[in-house]
Amino acid sequence: MSNDDESHSSEKTNVIKFIKSLNRRLVLIAFGLFLLIGGIGFISYMQYQQYKIANETHIADLYATYNNNMTACKQEADKAKKDVQSNCIKPINDSIVGKWLKARQPSLLIYQ
Protein backbone atom coordinates (compact mmCIF):
# COMPACT_ATOMS: atom_id res chain seq x y z
CA MET A 1 0.00 0.00 0.00
CA SER A 2 1.11 3.49 -0.64
CA ASN A 3 1.35 6.28 1.91
CA ASP A 4 -1.66 7.91 0.34
CA ASP A 5 -3.81 4.80 0.84
CA GLU A 6 -2.61 4.43 4.43
CA SER A 7 -3.39 8.04 5.30
CA HIS A 8 -6.81 7.74 3.67
CA SER A 9 -7.51 4.55 5.65
CA SER A 10 -6.27 6.23 8.80
CA GLU A 11 -8.61 9.17 8.18
CA LYS A 12 -11.56 6.81 7.71
CA THR A 13 -10.68 5.07 10.97
CA ASN A 14 -10.48 8.40 12.78
CA VAL A 15 -13.84 9.49 11.37
CA ILE A 16 -15.44 6.20 12.42
CA LYS A 17 -13.96 6.52 15.92
CA PHE A 18 -15.25 10.09 16.14
CA ILE A 19 -18.77 9.06 15.07
CA LYS A 20 -18.80 6.20 17.59
CA SER A 21 -17.69 8.50 20.41
CA LEU A 22 -20.28 11.06 19.34
CA ASN A 23 -22.99 8.38 19.42
CA ARG A 24 -21.93 7.35 22.91
CA ARG A 25 -22.07 10.95 24.07
CA LEU A 26 -25.52 11.45 22.55
CA VAL A 27 -26.78 8.30 24.24
CA LEU A 28 -25.37 9.50 27.57
CA ILE A 29 -26.91 12.94 27.10
CA ALA A 30 -30.29 11.41 26.19
CA PHE A 31 -30.14 9.12 29.21
CA GLY A 32 -29.21 12.04 31.47
CA LEU A 33 -32.14 14.10 30.14
CA PHE A 34 -34.45 11.14 30.68
CA LEU A 35 -33.32 10.87 34.30
CA LEU A 36 -33.65 14.62 34.82
CA ILE A 37 -37.17 14.77 33.41
CA GLY A 38 -38.18 11.68 35.38
CA GLY A 39 -36.80 13.18 38.58
CA ILE A 40 -38.64 16.44 38.05
CA GLY A 41 -41.84 14.53 37.34
CA PHE A 42 -41.47 12.47 40.50
CA ILE A 43 -40.84 15.55 42.64
CA SER A 44 -43.89 17.28 41.13
CA TYR A 45 -46.04 14.24 41.84
CA MET A 46 -44.89 14.10 45.46
CA GLN A 47 -45.61 17.81 45.95
CA TYR A 48 -49.10 17.33 44.50
CA GLN A 49 -49.74 14.43 46.89
CA GLN A 50 -48.62 16.57 49.83
CA TYR A 51 -50.96 19.35 48.67
CA LYS A 52 -53.90 16.92 48.50
CA ILE A 53 -53.20 15.62 52.01
CA ALA A 54 -52.88 19.16 53.40
CA ASN A 55 -56.13 20.18 51.70
CA GLU A 56 -58.01 17.15 53.07
CA THR A 57 -56.65 17.86 56.56
CA HIS A 58 -57.76 21.48 56.28
CA ILE A 59 -61.28 20.44 55.26
CA ALA A 60 -61.43 17.95 58.16
CA ASP A 61 -60.31 20.65 60.62
CA LEU A 62 -62.89 23.13 59.34
CA TYR A 63 -65.62 20.51 59.49
CA ALA A 64 -64.67 19.71 63.10
CA THR A 65 -64.93 23.42 63.95
CA TYR A 66 -68.28 23.67 62.15
CA ASN A 67 -69.65 20.57 63.88
CA ASN A 68 -68.43 21.68 67.33
CA ASN A 69 -69.97 25.13 66.86
CA MET A 70 -73.26 23.62 65.71
CA THR A 71 -73.43 21.11 68.58
CA ALA A 72 -72.64 23.71 71.24
CA CYS A 73 -75.12 26.20 69.77
CA LYS A 74 -77.89 23.59 69.55
CA GLN A 75 -77.36 22.64 73.19
CA GLU A 76 -77.54 26.31 74.27
CA ALA A 77 -80.62 26.92 72.13
CA ASP A 78 -82.38 23.87 73.58
CA LYS A 79 -81.58 25.01 77.14
CA ALA A 80 -82.87 28.52 76.43
CA LYS A 81 -85.83 27.11 74.46
CA LYS A 82 -84.90 29.13 71.37
CA ASP A 83 -85.45 28.23 67.74
CA VAL A 84 -82.47 26.17 66.58
CA GLN A 85 -82.96 26.98 62.88
CA SER A 86 -82.82 30.77 63.23
CA ASN A 87 -80.38 30.94 66.17
CA CYS A 88 -77.86 28.26 65.18
CA ILE A 89 -78.19 26.63 61.80
CA LYS A 90 -78.64 29.75 59.67
CA PRO A 91 -75.96 31.91 61.37
CA ILE A 92 -73.36 29.11 61.44
CA ASN A 93 -74.05 28.12 57.82
CA ASP A 94 -73.71 31.80 56.86
CA SER A 95 -70.40 32.13 58.75
CA ILE A 96 -67.03 32.05 56.98
CA VAL A 97 -66.50 28.39 57.89
CA GLY A 98 -70.00 27.42 56.78
CA LYS A 99 -69.66 29.28 53.46
CA TRP A 100 -66.24 27.77 52.82
CA LEU A 101 -67.50 24.25 53.46
CA LYS A 102 -70.63 24.84 51.39
CA ALA A 103 -68.55 26.07 48.45
CA ARG A 104 -66.14 23.13 48.52
CA GLN A 105 -67.96 20.23 50.17
CA PRO A 106 -71.70 20.97 50.42
CA SER A 107 -72.38 17.41 51.56
CA LEU A 108 -70.59 18.18 54.84
CA LEU A 109 -73.22 20.72 55.89
CA ILE A 110 -75.47 18.34 57.76
CA TYR A 111 -77.59 21.12 59.22
CA GLN A 112 -79.40 22.97 56.43
Which of the listed ranges 17-26, 38-47, 65-74 does the model predict with the highest average pLDDT?
A: 38-47
43-83 tens-digit pLDDT: 999 999 999 999 999 989 999 999 999 999 999 999 999 98
Task: Please say if the pLDDT value at position 24 is more than 90.
Answer: no
Mean pLDDT score across all residues of the chain: 86
Neighbouring residues of 98: CB distance < 8 A, sequence distance ≥ 6 = 66, 92, 109
Question: Which amino acid appears at position 74 of this protein?
Answer: K
Instruction: Collapse the DSSP code of 90 into the 3-class scheme (helix H, G, I; strand E, B; otherwise coil) and give the result.
Output: helix
CA torsion angle 101 98 57 75 (round to 10): -130
Structurally, how many domains does the chain consist of? 1
Its domain, for residue 16, covers 3-108
The pTM for the full model equals 0.61
